[in-house]
Amino acid sequence: MISEKNIVFPQGEPFKKRSVVDVITLGCSKNLVDSEQLMRQFDVLGYQVRHDATHPDGEIVIINTCGFIGDAKEESINTILQFAELRRHKKIQKLFVMGCLSERYLKELQLEIPEVDKFYGKFNYNDILTDLGQNYRADLRLERTLTTPRHYAYIKISEGCNRTCSYCAIPIITGRHRSRSVEDIENEVKGLVAKGVKEFQLIAQDLSYYGLDKYKALKLPELTERLSDIPGVEWLRLHYAYPAQFPYDILKVMRERENVCSYLDIALQHVSNNMLKQMRRNITAEQTYELIDCIRAEVPGIHLRTTLLLGHPGETEEDVNELKDFILKARFERLGAFAYSNEEGTYAYKTYSDDIPNEVKQRRVDEVMSIQQGISAEINQAKIGETLKVIIDRIEDDYFVGRTEYDSPEVDQEVLIPLATAGVEQGEFYQTEIVDATDFDLYGK
């Protein structure tokens, strides 16, 4: 039942027919999937559901928070406070908070921000429905109200993580690794294909581990093959792979299956043995080099995205130089770098002191990103004259904005095609000649 606020709803009677529910999603695409599932439930109950509205002023506001690192937590708290103000002045009727921040800091938040009608964790957000006197529809559990452009969707294949990376709070928030069944994921994808979705982003906390908990075997290759067999699946893209215990059989699937993008997002975080050991990444520098070489040899033309963490306790300038050498040699097509955030509850927080000044962390991030800018510019220049399959996501200013199979939505670069080009539609694929390039974008016709 709803907290001591004692809001009584006649059983089964919706709050007010067609009430407006504003859902605000912060954080990653895994959070977005949760929001979409909850939105579908409100939809079928007759509520008007909006997502990330410009002026969210619905009777009911639900904030799906992120609690991963400092900046993300701050953004979540500021968003809650913004709506707590509206709630205090009765500009909104109900304010609910869910997701990773409230999973991690439930008690503190309840004390600190009493204007919130109720805080939910990461996995019990469907209680919002029952607390509103509604029934959760289990028969719709595979259904979502998509918030992405209608032609692509995120598919979360598992929850949680069994790794023990020193700096990471995610296992504290999401718990142990739990794979969804292959059949469940297949049915979800089939349902979305029937709604016109063509492109699927496979996501998890740790894609590599998929199946090991449930089937006692690395099942990502088999899962990807079965999804690739579904008629109407045009692109399947893999995100959040983990380097240790890597499911090598996935490389054959990527090489042989036309609709499995030659793209892999694999977070490496670092490469010096000193750092990999302190970060508890269960892999060595030598093994990392071997893995990247093997992936490139097995899947010619693959585009690799990686994420690097700078400023972890104990990191020396020598470690950073080793990392710079590595990215110059490995030439990642896509790369993001972040500064270490000292997260309470993590192994690093309990074991090391956060001894690297923030300005040094940021300088190291900037140095790595400026190297990457040069690499990205060279890779893009080399694409001029090539013809690539591009999907159109939207129109922006004087351009159709699209992506190749090497570009994941929201995080990677885009292809800009003049708006004057006739017969181009959102959500359709076009063979596109690359005519120009910048460091982080391509121009096509």
Give contact residues for ligand SF4 (rule: CB under 6 A).
Answer: 161, 163, 165, 168, 170-171, 205-206, 242
Give me the least distance between CB of 204 and ligand SF4, in Å please.
Answer: 9
What residue type is assigned to position 399 of the chain? Y
CA 321 to CA 364: how far, in whole Å?
10
Helix (H) / strand (E) element for 322: namely: helix 317-330
E-only strand ranges, 7-150: 20-25, 48-51, 60-65, 94-99, 118-119
Cβ atoms of 263 and 406 within 8 Å: the answer is: yes
DSSP helix/strand/coil, 125: coil
DSSP state of 269: B
Of residues 206 and 407, the one with the C-beta less far from ligand SF4: 206
Give me the least distance between CB of 365 and ligand SF4, in Å please.
Answer: 17
CA 261 to CA 407: how far, in whole Å?
9
Of residues 311 and 402, the one with the C-beta less far from ligand SF4: 311
Give me the least distance between CB of 150 and ligand SF4, in Å please.
Answer: 30
Of residues 56 and 311, the one with the C-beta less far from ligand SF4: 311
- Please choose, from the candidates 45, 215, 238, the residue with its C-alpha nearest in 3D space to the C-alpha of residue 126: 45
Of residues 161 and 310, the one with the C-beta less far from ligand SF4: 161
Of residues 338 and 429, the one with the C-beta less far from ligand SF4: 338
Of residues 175 and 314, the one with the C-beta less far from ligand SF4: 175
- Quote the crossing angle between the two packed helices 220-228 and 182-194, to the nearest 10°: 30
Of residues 208 and 262, the one with the C-beta less far from ligand SF4: 208
Give me the least distance between CB of 206 and ligand SF4, in Å please.
Answer: 5
DSSP helix/strand/coil, 187: helix
CA 317 to CA 338: how far, in whole Å?
16
- Which residues 6+ apart lie within 8 Å of 277 measured at CB? none
Of residues 200 and 209, the one with the C-beta less far from ligand SF4: 209
Cβ atoms of 237 and 200 within 8 Å: the answer is: yes
CA 257 to CA 158: how far, in whole Å?
23
Give me the least distance between CB of 323 and ligand SF4, in Å please.
Answer: 17
Give me the least distance between CB of 353 and ligand SF4, in Å please.
Answer: 21
Give me the least distance between CB of 265 and ligand SF4, in Å please.
Answer: 12
Other residues' Cβ atoms within 10 Å of the Cβ of residue 134 = 22
Give me the least distance between CB of 125 and ligand SF4, in Å please.
Answer: 20
Q: Locate tokens 């539609």: which residue?
A: 425
Give me the least distance between CB of 164 and ligand SF4, in Å please.
Answer: 7
What residue type is assigned to position 12 of the chain? G
Of residues 307 and 426, the one with the C-beta less far from ligand SF4: 307
DSSP state of 138: G
